């Protein structure tokens, strides 16, 4: 697997409880497509109906929020760590 994706607690129902899963793809869009193939339903939690990144879920490639990189076209070279960080409000 080319990249690893950290899955937050709230989305682990899609990954059978796994906190980190592997995926293939040279851009974030391709990685999300690959994730969807193996963990059906998860892409819709990250992307909205128009296919854009949801504004209450942040996706980090390495240490950076992709909203400030190239969004879904952000390159994901082999070994990249991707993190999905959803807004939570508990206190």
Partner 1 sequence: MSPSLSLPPLVEPAAELTTDEVRRYSRHLIIPDVGMTGQKRLKNAKVLVIGAGGLGSPALLYLAAAGVGTLGIAEFDEVDESNLQRQVIHGQSDIGRPKALSARDSIAEINPLVEVVVHDERLDNDNVMRIFEGYDLIVDGTDNFATRYMVNDAAYFLGIPYVWGSIYRFDGQASVFAPKQVEDAPCYRCLYPEPPPPGMVPSCAEGGVLGVLCASIGSIQVNEAIKLLTGAGEPAVGKLVIYDALELEWRKLKVRKDPNCRLCGEHADVTELIDYDAFCGAISEEAADAAAGSTISVTQLEHMLKEREEGSRDFVLVDVREPNEYEINQIPGSVLIPKGEFLNGNALEQLPPVDSGTQVVMHCKSGVRSAETLAIVQGAGYDDAVHVGGGVVAWVNQIDPSQPAY
Told to check if 16 binds partner 1 by CB under 8 A, we report: no
Enumerate residues 6+ apart whose C-beta is below 8 A from 72.
27, 28, 29, 32, 51, 52, 53, 66
Of 41 and 77, which has the nearer Cβ to partner 1? 41
Enumerate residues 6+ apart whose C-beta is below 8 A from 30.
24, 76
User: How far apart, in Å, do the first and last CA atoms of the chain sit?
Assistant: 36
**Site track for partner 1 across 60-89, x = CB under 8 A:** x--xxx-xx--------------x-xxxxx
Stretch touching partner 1 by CB under 8 A, among 4-12, 25-33, 72-80: 4-12
Of 16 and 89, which has the nearer Cβ to partner 1? 89
């Amino acid at each position: 697997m080319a990249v690893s994706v950290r899955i937050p607690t709230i989305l682990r129902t899609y990954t059978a409880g796994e906190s980190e899963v592997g995926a293939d793809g040279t851009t974030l869009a391709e990685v999300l497509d690959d994730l969807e193939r193996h963990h059906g339903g998860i892409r819709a939690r990250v992307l909205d109906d128009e296919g854009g990144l949801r504004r209450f879920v942040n996706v980090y490639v390495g240490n950076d929020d992709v909203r400030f990189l190239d969004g879904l076209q952000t390159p994901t070279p082999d070994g990249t760590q991707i993190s999905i960080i959803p807004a939570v409000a508990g206190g």
